[in-house]
């Protein structure tokens, strides 16, 4: 035959260019260990229901295990003319064990096979990514605790808004990543469903035992509909959406780190080993790790768009278009693993310059809201208090002073409700300590929130 897997009805082999164009083994060889596990479960099931003899099963299983070893040792030569990972492994099996190898594909198609492989791989990768997320989250919680008392400016519109604690900011990052982890766990439930048994699209005429295969491979469920199971890649899309959100969060963190490291802010320093230099400017120490993370976010978001677009025009059931799902998925997995790993390594080593953070919070009238709240507690309506403080800010600004620098007489000129004790609410520490409720920035709350975050993390 012109092709050992499907050549029967063909009068000539594929054009060389067609062969190169349609082959996927250069990238789907990454599925090999999962393909072998799936095949072993399938052969074991075929023997259980009497389609294969026990002897055939044993030879298939031993042959596949040997091939697994060959692949690990880099000895198997992947052949483009065998198209993909599935046919490369099957061909090698028959080469090694003869006739029994030709029976492995009974009651199965590459369509349900590839969907199974992909789900096995993704399930494992999700578990690894969630472990990396957990490592990063643990680092952020430690940092939050360490810097629970460090006052920094909180921003809205990138303008100084109100003082917050550095620890509170770290727990905001951790909260985003906690949701990402929960989303991945939820996606995993829909990934962990067995397609095998759907065969090409309609099921198979053999008396297969799908729950037995599911159990061997650790799938929680058997896919309900064969047409759906071989054709939809929504589980890939869902994962890519989760991944795009993870990257979006890492990118926002990157943006803040880049700003904070800039001497104009000077809030934090990164160890030299996480930075690189300039080829021309000798003084430069650049925050390349966060910058590249921010840059890589674009490709992951792009991969989500790619697979959504790949899916949108496909009629049921399997179409070869789906071969294009793998490179975006694999690249996303590698990108996430790298970025999360680097962040998890790096975050515990961030050095916070607490005095610089405090100086920045002291500029920009960060306690103006506290003064307005003070007036409200003395019976002034909030909207009136807002205007009074606005005028005080303008006067302070014109004099080049901060609110706390204005003498009591000057302050009382804006409102008779102001008394000597006003200076307590105008301090940065007073301001943060006063936001003393669940979700607030007070150091005591940050410590309590760190405890809760750590408990949630260990229950994850
Ligand atoms: N390599 C294909 C894929 O990645 C799987 C094989 C299905 N091919 C086929 N001609 N039915 O989706």
With a cut of 50, which residues of the chain have pLDDT below it?
none
Hey, how many other C-beta atoms are within 10 angstroms of the C-beta on 159? 9
HEC states along the chain? CCCCCCHHHCCCCCCHHHHHHHCCHHHHHHHHHHHHHHHHHHHHHHHHCCCCCHHHHHHHHHHHHHHHHHHHCCCCCCCHHHCCHHHHHHHHHHHHHHHHHHHCCCCCCHHHHHHHHHHHHHHHHHHHHHHHHHHHHHHHHHHHHHCCCCEEEEEECCEEEEEEEHHHHHHHHHHHHHHHHHHHHHHHHHHCEECCCCCCCCCCCCCCCHHHHHHHHCCCEECCCHHHHHHCCHHHHHHHHHHHHHHHHHHHHHHHHHHHHCCCCCCEECCHHHCECCCCCCCCCECHHHHHHHHHHHHHHHHHHHHHHHHHCCCCCCCHHHHHHHHHHHHHHHHHHHHHHHHHHHHHHCEECHHHHHHHHHCCCCCHHHHHHHHHHCCCCHHHHHHHHHHHHHHHHHCCCCHHHCCHHHHHHHCCCCCCCHHHHCCHHHHHHHCCCCCCCCHHHHHHHHHHHHHHHHHC
Q: What angle do CA 27, 32, 34 make, to 5 degrees?
A: 120
Find the catalytic residue in 11, 157, 437, 458: 157
Domain residue ranges of the chain, discontinuous segments joined by +: 7-106, 111-358, 360-459
| Ligand 1 center from residue 318 Cα (angstroms) | 8
| Ligand 1 center from residue 198 Cα (angstroms) | 14
Pocket test for ligand 1, best of 105, 109, 110, 113 (most atoms within 8 A of CB): 110
| Ligand 1 center from residue 314 Cα (angstroms) | 14
Structure tokens at 273: 């080993």
Is the Cβ atom of 44 under 6 angstroms away from ligand 1? no
pLDDT given for residue 285 in this prediction:
87
Q: What angle do CA 295, 298, 299 make, to 5 degrees?
A: 105
Tell me whether residue 157 is one of the annotated catalytic residues: yes
Rounded Cα distance, 2 and 12, in Å:
6
ipTM of the complex: 0.96
pLDDT given for residue 282 in this prediction:
86
Q: Which CATH architecture has domain 7-106?
A: Orthogonal Bundle (1.10)
| Ligand 1 center from residue 87 Cα (angstroms) | 10
- Nearest residue to 331 (alpha-carbon basis) of 300, 310, 293, 295: 300
Is the Cβ atom of 112 under 6 angstroms away from ligand 1? no
Strand partners, 159: 156
Per-residue pLDDT of 313-357, as tens digits, reads 999 999 999 999 999 999 999 999 999 999 999 999 999 999 999
pLDDT given for residue 2 in this prediction:
73
Which listed CATH number (3.40.30.10, 1.10.730.10, 1.20.200.10, 3.50.50.100) goes with 111-358?
1.20.200.10
Tell me whether residue 349 is one of the annotated catalytic residues: no
Closest ligand 1 atom to Cα of 326: 4
pLDDT given for residue 64 in this prediction:
98
- pTM of the predicted structure, to 2 decimals: 0.96
Q: Which fold has domain 360-459?
A: Ribonucleotide Reductase Protein R1; domain 1 (1.10.40)
Is the Cβ atom of 367 under 6 angstroms away from ligand 1? no
Nearest CA to ligand 1 atom 12: 323
Find the catalytic residue in 26, 262, 278, 349: 278
pLDDT given for residue 281 in this prediction:
86
Per-residue pLDDT of 8-58, as tens digits, reads 899 988 899 999 999 999 999 999 999 999 999 999 999 999 999 999 999
């Amino acid at each position: 035959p012109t092709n050992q897997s499907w050549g029967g009805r063909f009068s000539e082999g594929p054009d060389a260019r067609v062969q190169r164009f349609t082959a996927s083994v250069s990238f789907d060889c990454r599925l090999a260990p999962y393909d072998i596990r799936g095949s072993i479960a399938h052969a074991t099931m075929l023997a259980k229901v009497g389609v294969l003899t026990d002897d055939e099963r044993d030879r298939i299983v031993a042959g596949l295990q040997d091939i697994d070893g060959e692949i690990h040792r880099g000895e198997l030569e992947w052949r483009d003319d065998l198209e993909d990972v599935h046919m490369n492994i099957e061909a090698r099996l028959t080469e090694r064990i003869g006739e029994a190898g030709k029976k492995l594909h009974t009651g199965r198609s590459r369509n349900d096979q590839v969907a199974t492989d992909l789900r096995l791989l993704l399930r494992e990768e999700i578990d690894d990514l969630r472990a990396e997320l957990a490592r990063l989250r643990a680092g952020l919680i430690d940092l939050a605790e360490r810097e629970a008392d460090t006052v920094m400016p909180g921003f809205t519109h990138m303008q100084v808004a109100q003082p917050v604690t550095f620890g509170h900011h770290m727990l905001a990052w951790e909260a985003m990543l906690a949701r990402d982890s929960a989303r991945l766990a939820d996606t995993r439930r829909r990934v962990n469903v067995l397609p095998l048994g759907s065969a090409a699209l309609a099921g198979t005429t053999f008396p297969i035992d799908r729950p037995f295969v599911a159990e061997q491979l650790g799938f929680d469920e058997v896919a309900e509909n064969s047409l759906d199971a071989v054709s939809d890649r929504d589980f890939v899309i869902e994962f890519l959406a989760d991944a795009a959100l993870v990257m979006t969060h890492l990118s926002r963190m990157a943006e803040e780190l880049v700003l904070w490291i800039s001497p104009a802010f000077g809030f934090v320093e990164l160890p030299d080993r996480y930075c690189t230099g300039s080829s021309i400017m000798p003084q430069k120490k650049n925050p390349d790790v966060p910058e590249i993370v921010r840059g890589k976010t674009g490709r992951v978001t792009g991969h989500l768009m790619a697979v959504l677009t790949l899916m949108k025009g496909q009629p049921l059931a399997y179409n070869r278009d789906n071969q294009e799902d793998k490179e975006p998925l694999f690249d996303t997995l590698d990108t996430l693993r790298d970025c999360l790993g680097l962040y998890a390594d790096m975050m515990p080593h961030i050095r916070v310059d607490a005095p610089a953070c405090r100086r920045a919070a002291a500029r920009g009238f960060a306690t103006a809201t506290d003064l307005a709240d003070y007036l409200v507690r003395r019976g002034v309506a909030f909207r009136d208090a807002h205007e009074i403080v606005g005028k005080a800010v303008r006067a302070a600004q014109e004099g080049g002073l901060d609110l706390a620098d204005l003498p009591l007489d000057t302050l009382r000129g804006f409102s008779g409700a102001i008394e000597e004790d006003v200076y307590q609410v105008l301090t940065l520490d007073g301001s943060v300590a006063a936001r003393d409720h669940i979700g607030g920035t007070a150091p005591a709350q940050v410590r309590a929130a760190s405890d809760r975050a750590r408990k949630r993390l260990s229950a994850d």
